[in-house]
Amino acid sequence: MKRILVVAILFVTLNNTSTAQKKDFVITIKTAYGDIVAVLYDETPKHKANFIKLANAHFYDSTLFHRVITGFMIQGGDPNSKKAKKGEGLGSGGPGYTIEAEFNPKLFHKKGAIAAARMSDQQNPTKASNGSQFYIVQGKVTQPDELDGLKIDRQKTNTAMKAFLYKPEYKLYEDTLQRLRANRNVAAFNKKLIELAPLIEKETGINILKNISPEKIEAYSTDGGAPFLDDNYTVFGQVIKGFEVIDKIAMVKRDGANRPTEDVRMFVTAKEMSRKKISKKFDYQFPQSESKK
């Protein structure tokens, strides 16, 4: 027994040492409003490797945050923005390739999330990401009466409701839902859908409710974010310092196309550093799934 115990202790020690020595990259986005510091997720390896590659090649240097919406996000990374004239339309540029979507239910659009921009579903049904354009979520706090909306899969619900309400015996539910929608009572509408979910799912075989983690509920109801973007755009990183810089940029004056009237340029670096040092320097705790790798 003693021998086995010693081996077990040795294994734990070696495992912890390996974790402490693991290297990663700190992304720094320098702007006139201050620095935004971030880490990128191992769960999105293609997006992570691509962003680091572009940063090291100075691809992003002098590009603009060309689209800014208060309470939503700040977007940049279009190479055409480097020499763009005042008021020139931006947002169509890139490195000449896309990246396959890497959706992960654990990675969501909380405040400070870094995600890839992309073309619309009509032009891009696979939801592939633009090769360089990204956005950083500012978002807003989800109010308690809006939390139910996070649990509903809108796309599946639309499909299920067509089959469910087609049956005459459920016509009365259609009248109730239409009345709530007409009165713009979103909270009551969502609550009614959740109440009907077991019946709808039984009758149609379609699961209309999402499995929302307590972590996600807490993040959206405290720090805020943009939950309506989840499962549609690849989240591949998270800001760990400089949230106030996001807020400052999100508040700048902009034109009708949401481009800042005064250019907001960025300069991006990717510096290799041990995770132990990152955690200590930026008071950041790596997700459990990553810390064990």
- 87-92-94 Cα angle (round to 5): 120
Task: With beta carbons less than 8 A apart as the criterion, state whether 102 and 45 touch.
Answer: yes
From CA 197, how far away is CA 173, in angstroms rounded?
A: 12
Same domain, 49 and 98: yes
Residues 6+ apart with CB under 8 A from 56: 270
Chain segment 7-17, per-residue pLDDT in tens: 444 444 444 44
Same domain, 279 and 189: no
Same domain, 133 and 46: yes
From CA 202, how far away is CA 113, in angstroms rounded?
A: 36
Chain segment 224-254, per-residue pLDDT in tens: 999 999 999 999 999 999 999 999 999 999 9
Using CA atoms of 156, 162, 166, 171 in order, give the dihedral in degrees to the nearest 10. 90
59 domain residue, yes or no: yes
Residue 289: predicted pLDDT: 53
3 domain residue, yes or no: no
Which two three-digit tokens encode residue 176? 């109730």
Residue 4: predicted pLDDT: 42
Residue 211: predicted pLDDT: 84
Chain segment 170-188, per-residue pLDDT in tens: 988 999 999 998 998 888 9
Question: Tell me, what CATH number does 225's domain have?
Answer: 2.40.100.10
Which two three-digit tokens encode residue 62? 């002098």
Task: With beta carbons less than 8 A apart as the criterion, state whether 160 and 208 touch.
Answer: yes
CA 239 to chain centre: 11
Of 185, 204, 223, the last residue of a domain is: 204
Give the domain extent around 193.
152-204
Task: With beta carbons less than 8 A apart as the criterion, state whether 28 and 273 touch.
Answer: no
Same domain, 128 and 247: yes
What one-character DSSP code corresponds to residue 81? G
Chain segment 108-161, per-residue pLDDT in tens: 999 999 999 999 999 999 999 999 999 999 999 998 778 888 899 988 999 999
Q: Which residue has the higher pLDDT, 144 or 213?
A: 213
Same domain, 175 and 52: no
Tell me which residue of 272, 236, 277 sits closest to 41, measured CA to CA: 236
7 domain residue, yes or no: no
- Overall average pLDDT of the 207-218 stretch: 91
User: Is 80 a residue whose pLDDT tops 80?
Assistant: yes
198 domain residue, yes or no: yes
Number of Cα atoms under 13 Å in the Cβ half of residue 111: 22
156 domain residue, yes or no: yes
Q: Which residue has the higher pLDDT, 12 or 285?
A: 285
- Overall average pLDDT of the 73-89 stretch: 97
- Overall average pLDDT of the 263-276 stretch: 97
Residue 21: predicted pLDDT: 65
Domain count, the chain: 2
How far apart, in Å, are the Cα atoms of 120 and each of 128, 129, 132, 176, 256?
A: 10, 10, 16, 33, 20
Residue 186: predicted pLDDT: 87
How far apart, in Å, are the Cα atoms of 270 and each of 6, 37, 210?
A: 40, 10, 35
From CA 109, how far away is CA 229, in angstroms rounded?
A: 7
158 domain residue, yes or no: yes
